[in-house]
Amino acid sequence: MNRIIRLEELLKEQPEDAFMNHALALEYIKAGEEEKAEKVFRKILSTNPDYVGSYYHLGKLLERKGDEGEAVRIYKKGMEAAKRMGDTHAYNELRAACEYLEF
């Protein structure tokens, strides 16, 4: 069964599951449906602002769309979340992505 369809079915039972929503957004990206992916990432971060991995992937998506200013904003928000969560690995990845755009 198509992974997108399967994830959408699972999310009917648990619509706020951040992990499954994140997986769905990544599948949308693989399928070339970046607008859908962006909506899912933004939904995740509005309901679960400490789901750090979504900041990186949303930022990269925004970079591909040419919206570097918004990508930097997202990376910085992600860095704040990573710091709150004590996730130094994610913080460093987000910082590197942000610095690449700023310099």
- Domain ranges in the chain are 3-102
Q: Report residue 1's pLDDT band, with 50, 70 and 90 as the boundaries.
A: low
Q: Do the beta carbons of residue 37 and residue 21 sit within 8 Å?
A: no
In this prediction, residues 8-19 reach a mean pLDDT of 96
Q: What are phi and psi of 49, to 5 degrees?
A: -65, -10
DSSP code of residue 32: T
In a 10 Å sphere around its CB, with 0-12 CB exposed, 13-18 middle and 19+ buried, how is residue 75 labelled? buried
Compute CA 32 distance to the chain's CA centroid, rounded to the nearest angstrom: 15
Q: Give the Cα separation of 55 and 50 in Å (integer).
A: 9
User: 3-class DSSP state for residue 51?
Assistant: coil
The pLDDT tens digits for 43-75 are 999 999 999 999 999 999 999 999 999 999 999
Q: Do the beta carbons of residue 79 and residue 92 sit within 8 Å?
A: no
The pLDDT tens digits for 71-93 are 999 999 999 999 999 999 999 99
Domain 3-102 CATH superfamily:
Tetratricopeptide repeat domain (1.25.40.10)
Share of the chain above pLDDT 70, in %: 99
